[in-house]
Amino acid sequence: MKDMKERYENQTDQPPPTQRGEDETAPASDRRRHIRRSTILHGTLHIDARDIDCIILDLSVGGAKILIKEPVYSGARTTLSIDRVGAFSADVVWTSDEFCGLLFTGDNFTISEKIGRRFGLE
C-alpha cells in the first residue's frame, strides 16, 4: 500500500473543484453532478467479507475514485471506510485496472456532514 500512496503523494497541482454546468464545452468527465476534490487519503474497502486497503484519489459527496490492488466487480455493494472521516455505504459503478469508482448510497445528510463540510464540497 505504501508504494501505491507514494505514486500519488508528490502531486502538488490540485485542480479547483468543478461542478456540473460550469463549462459546457468541457469533456463529459469534467462535468459532474457534485463538486469533486483530488485527494490522497487512506481507506479500506469492505467488500464480500474482504477488507481491501485503498487510496482515495478523488472525492465528492456523491462518490469516490479509489486505487486498489485487488479486483472488484461493478455492481458490488460495499462500505468505504476513510481514515479519520467515517464509513460510507457505496456501490461499485465502474472498474478499470487497479481503479474503481464508487457511488455513495447512504444517508445524504450524513455524507454531506462528514465529507462535504470537511473537504469544502458544498
- Quote the Cα angle for 97-101-104, to 5°: 155
Tens of pLDDT, residues 83-99:
999 999 999 999 998 99
Domains and their CATH numbers in the chain: 2-116 (2.40.10.220)
Nearest to 55 by CA among 19, 3, 103: 3
| 17-54 pLDDT tens trace | 444 444 445 554 555 567 888 999 999 999 999 999 99
Question: What is the pTM (predicted TM-score) of this model?
Answer: 0.74
AA letter at 20: R
Paired with 96 in beta bridges are 99
- Alpha helices by DSSP H, 28-122: 108-111
Cβ distance 60 to 101 under 8 Å? Answer: no
pLDDT given at position 108: 87
The per-residue pLDDT for range 53-73, each reduced to its tens digit, is 999 999 999 999 999 999 999
